[in-house]
């Protein structure tokens, strides 16, 4: 399969495959008053394990859900019963919100057969497919991490590119936050954007919980002045929707896309970071 997505029909037909694991990677913004883990326990796709985006992360930093060390990731997902050679199908209960972050994380650590469920949990439920409750426990597995250093960039790299415009920086936050017209939801962050960055709000990339068609994405990026043939760095508030943006760019034809993991949670608080509005 060349698409990053599988359909609900495909998943229903393969749920019992021994080499397949389903992963609920739901995560919600604090202002939604939703508890992803509680919702998982109340009902999820049969056999799905819960991937805690905030828990399977670098806990030594105060930045939210940063990538953990490869060995820590391998230990955490191995305990969930996920091996690097399995077919991994990730979904979330919004449709296409946090699943891309987990999908990207598995890919960044070397999983080669990782996909997202098209339409996610909402589509599965709308088709009245089976749901089960409770915690799923799988036998421990061995995940051999192979970290892709090209998938992610840090503060210093982004600052260098922002200063000399040597790589396109694209921000997925809503336009009012990008332009400094609305406050950041996290305390202590300045308002505005990374110098020489371009705004493509994630809300423009999806429709009814699915990624928009490739031709529409290509038109959108062209209208925003994004050159898909040149290297791109994506950013957002905390590294969640930056991945959805990276996914959309790749689907539109970009081949050199990296995610700024710290995103505005880091940049907006960093004393050495220049801010534009």
List residues with catalytic annotation: 236
**DSSP conformational letter for 89:** E
Bridge partner residues of 193 (DSSP) = 276
- Gap between the Cα atoms of 112 and 142, Å rounded: 15
The first and second tokens of residue 151, run together, are 């998938």
| 126, burial (CB in 10 Å: exposed 0-12, middle 13-18, buried 19+) | exposed
In contact, 125 and 26? CB cutoff 8 Å: no
Q: How far is CA 45 from the centre of its chain?
A: 20
Q: Are strands 114-117 and 20-24 parallel, antiparallel or unpaired?
A: unpaired
**DSSP conformational letter for 234:** E
The first and second tokens of residue 150, run together, are 């090209």
Task: Name every residue whose Cβ is closer than 8 Å to that of residue 173 and which is 6 or more positions away in sequence.
Answer: 193, 199, 201, 202, 235, 236, 237, 241, 264
The first and second tokens of residue 111, run together, are 């999983």
In contact, 176 and 204? CB cutoff 8 Å: no
How is the chain split among helix, strand and coil, in percent rounded to 5?
A: 35, 15, 50
Q: Are strands 210-211 and 206-207 parallel, antiparallel or unpaired?
A: antiparallel
User: For residue 95, which of 245, 9, 211 has the smallest C-alpha distance?
Assistant: 211
């Amino acid at each position: 399969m060349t698409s990053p997505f599988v359909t609900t029909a495909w998943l229903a037909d393969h749920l019992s495959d021994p080499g397949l694991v389903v992963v609920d990677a739901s995560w919600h913004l604090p202002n939604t008053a939703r508890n992803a883990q509680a919702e998982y326990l109340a009902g999820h796709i049969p056999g799905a394990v819960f991937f805690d985006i905030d828990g399977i992360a670098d806990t030594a930093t105060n930045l939210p859900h940063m990538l953990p060390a490869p060995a820590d990731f391998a230990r955490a997902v191995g305990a969930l019963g996920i091996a690097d050679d399995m077919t991994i199908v990730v979904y979330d209960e919004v449709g296409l919100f946090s699943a891309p972050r987990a999908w990207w994380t598995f890919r960044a650590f070397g999983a080669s057969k990782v996909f997202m469920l098209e339409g996610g949990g909402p589509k599965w439920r709308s088709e009245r497919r089976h749901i089960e409750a409770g915690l799923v426990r799988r036998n421990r597995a061995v995940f051999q991490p192979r970290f892709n250093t090209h998938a992610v960039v840090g503060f210093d790299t982004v600052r260098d590119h922002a200063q000399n415009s040597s790589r396109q920086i694209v921000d997925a936050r809503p336009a009012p936050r990008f332009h400094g017209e609305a406050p950041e939801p996290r305390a202590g962050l300045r308002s505005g954007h990374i110098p020489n960055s371009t705004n493509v709000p994630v809300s423009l990339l999806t429709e009814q919980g699915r990624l928009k068609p490739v031709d529409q994405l290509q038109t959108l990026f062209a209208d925003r002045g994004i050159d898909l043939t040149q290297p791109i760095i994506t950013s957002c508030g905390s590294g969640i929707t930056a991945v959805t943006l990276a996914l959309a760019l790749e689907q539109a034809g970009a081949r050199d896309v990296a995610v700024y993991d710290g995103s505005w949670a880091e940049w907006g608080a960093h004393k050495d970071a220049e801010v534009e509005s």
